[in-house]
């Protein structure tokens, strides 16, 4: 990959002295070649800031102010470790995560994991369409117009677009998250209190506080992100020469996504915490911001909700289609036509159609749906993370690119910690249901 791209650089190096004009052109070319590799990590991490994630971050800020900001530091480290392993596996093996799981752990385990993933992602896809509906209605557009129209746009983009075009559009969608950063500044927070919330933890043993901390972690690291980022790296055709840039993409994506999430917490903490406002979803947060932070902040929050839901609405069914196709051994890829990859594009199409239809059902219980999918993800995440660590540390699979002893220790620590917290969230959720 990059070897061909930098052949000009290699040739001039062999000559010896490199003229200044050539050095400048080679440097420019290298910059664009590096930029061409970026994408999968940023898209995967940003797609986690979808409607349910925005609702969780908004609720955390409204309920507990800045006191939960410290949690974003360990969450970012854990998230980065998980994404880096998946990117590295995709680059080194040229296989998606579901493909590797099927080869190494057998068809039965893979089928069970994929069934859970299908149920969980299906529920979240419906929630994203509900987020589209809510955001559209904040601007006076009927959900019966917005939902079918956005479903058609996303389907056309993925089913008829090229891999490069799809990635470019998804990256542009990721820029919509900048609206949350702007809305946070419009809310005029006390930045000294923000800094204290980040670097001077003041944790509480109160049940609601602990539940919110666990919910933040469960929202930030979800199984579909690991599956999507590895499949995207494979789709992009990267090899080991591209690994450094692919890692940078993954880590930058994690930092960017979690920074956006932190700004969502800051927005609602600085405006809604003092008033004791209770939020049910992300649309409530956008509406509640208007009286205290101004209509611009409210509109920016609503634009962010719409863009986030659009991005996740494309990534989630795509991640599901990748994973199911890999696990069943079918052809996959955005470069394939319906005739070449009918299962892959068929799964994507069915998920889009069903998600849109269910989201338009009057009185759809969004909260209960999210709780149910959260339970499924709570069971699935420990399995996925354990599989990722086992596969990425296997010398037969990864060769010299396997996890080092130190990295492996950190990866297992992350896996055990996140898994226990995920299972704790699941137990609390089930207890609350009864």
- Residue pLDDT, tens place only, 40-81: 788 888 887 777 778 788 888 888 889 999 999 999 999 999
Q: Burial code of 120-136, b = ≥16 C-beta within 10 A, e = fewer? A: bbbbbbbbbbbbbbbbb
Q: Comparing C-alpha atoms, which of 305, 123, 150 is closest to residue 223?
A: 123
Look at 388 and 374; give whichever has higher pLDDT: 388
Contacts with 344 (C-beta within 8 Å, 6 or more apart), sequence order: 321, 322, 325, 330, 331, 332, 333, 336
pLDDT given at position 280: 65
Residue 8 tokens read as: 């000009």
Average pLDDT score, the chain: 80
Q: Is the pLDDT of residue 114 over 50?
A: yes
d(CA 67, CA 45): 24
pLDDT given at position 108: 83
**Least confident stretch, 1-15, 79-93, 118-132, 185-199:** 1-15
DSSP string computed for 120-161: HHHHHHHHHHHHHHHHHHHTT--HHHHHHHHHHHHHHHHHHS
Q: Is the pLDDT of residue 9 over 70?
A: no
Helices and strands (H and E) in the chain: how many: 21, 0
Q: Comparing C-alpha atoms, which of 433, 59, 47, 226 is closest to residue 425?
A: 433
Q: Is the pLDDT of residue 213 over 60?
A: yes
**Least confident stretch, 56-60, 191-195, 354-358, 388-392:** 56-60
**Least confident stretch, 89-93, 254-258, 337-341:** 337-341
- Give pLDDT tens digits for 80-99: 999 999 999 999 999 988 89
Q: Is the pLDDT of residue 403 over 50?
A: yes
Q: Is the pLDDT of residue 407 over 90?
A: yes
Q: Does pTM surpass 0.85?
A: no
The pLDDT of 110-119, averaged and rounded, is: 84
Domain map of the chain by residue range? 39-433
The answer to whether the CB of 41 falls within 8 A of the CB of 253 is yes
Quote the percentage of the chain above a pLDDT of 90: 21
Question: CATH classification of 39-433, choosing from 1.20.1740.10, 1.10.275.10, 3.40.50.1820, 1.10.10.10?
Answer: 1.20.1740.10
The pLDDT of 178-201, averaged and rounded, is: 87
Contacts with 254 (C-beta within 8 Å, 6 or more apart), sequence order: 41, 45, 76, 79, 80, 83
């Amino acid at each position: 990959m990059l070897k061909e791209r930098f052949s000009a650089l290699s040739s001039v190096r062999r000559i010896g002295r490199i003229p200044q004009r050539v050095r400048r052109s080679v440097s420019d070319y290298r910059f664009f070649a590096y930029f061409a590799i970026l994408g999968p990590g940023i898209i995967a991490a940003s797609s986690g800031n979808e409607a349910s994630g925005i609702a969780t971050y908004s609720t955390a800020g409204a309920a507990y102010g800045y006191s939960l900001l410290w949690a974003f530091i360990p969450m970012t480290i854990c998230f980065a470790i998980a994404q880096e392993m998946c990117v590295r596996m995709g680059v080194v093996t040229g296989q998606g995560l579901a493909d590797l799981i099927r080869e190494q752990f057998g068809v039965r385990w893979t089928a069970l994991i994929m069934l859970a993933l299908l149920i969980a992602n299906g529920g979240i896809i419906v929630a994203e369409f509900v987020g589209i509906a809510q955001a559209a209605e904040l601007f006076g557009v009927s959900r019966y117009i917005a939902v079918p129209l956005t479903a058609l746009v996303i389907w056309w983009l993925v089913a008829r677009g090229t891999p490069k075009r799809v990635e470019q559009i998804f990256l542009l969608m990721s820029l919509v998250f900048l609206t949350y950063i702007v809305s946070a500044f419009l809310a005029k927070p006390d930045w000294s209190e923000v800094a204290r919330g980040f670097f001077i933890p003041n944790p509480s043993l109160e049940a609601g506080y602990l539940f919110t901390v666990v919910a933040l972690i469960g929202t930030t690291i979800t199984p579909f992100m690991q599956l999507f980022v590895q499949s995207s790296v494979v789709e992009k055709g990267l090899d080991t020469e591209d690994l450094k840039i692919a890692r940078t993409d993954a880590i930058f994506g994690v930092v960017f996504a979690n920074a956006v999430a932190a700004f969502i917490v800051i927005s609602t903490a600085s405006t809604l915490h003092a008033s004791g406002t209770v939020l049910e979803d992300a649309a409530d947060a956008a509406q509640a911001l208007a009286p205290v932070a101004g209509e611009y902040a409210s509109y920016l929050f609503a634009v962010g909700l719409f863009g986030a839901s659009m991005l996740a609405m494309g990534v989630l069914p795509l991640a599901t289609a990748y994973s199911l196709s890999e696990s069943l051994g079918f052809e996959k890829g955005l470069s394939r036509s319906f005739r070449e990859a009918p299962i892959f594009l068929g799964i994507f199409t069915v998920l889009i159609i069903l998600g849109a239809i269910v989201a338009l059902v009057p009185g759809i219980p969004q909260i209960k749906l999210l709780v149910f999918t959260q339970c499924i993800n709570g069971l699935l995440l420990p399995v996925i993370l354990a599989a990722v660590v086992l596969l990425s540390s296997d010398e037969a699979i990864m060769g010299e690119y396997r996890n080092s002893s130190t990295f492996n220790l950190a990866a297992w620590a992350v896996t055990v910690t996140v898994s226990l917290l995920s299972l704790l969230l699941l137990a609390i959720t089930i207890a609350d249901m009864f």
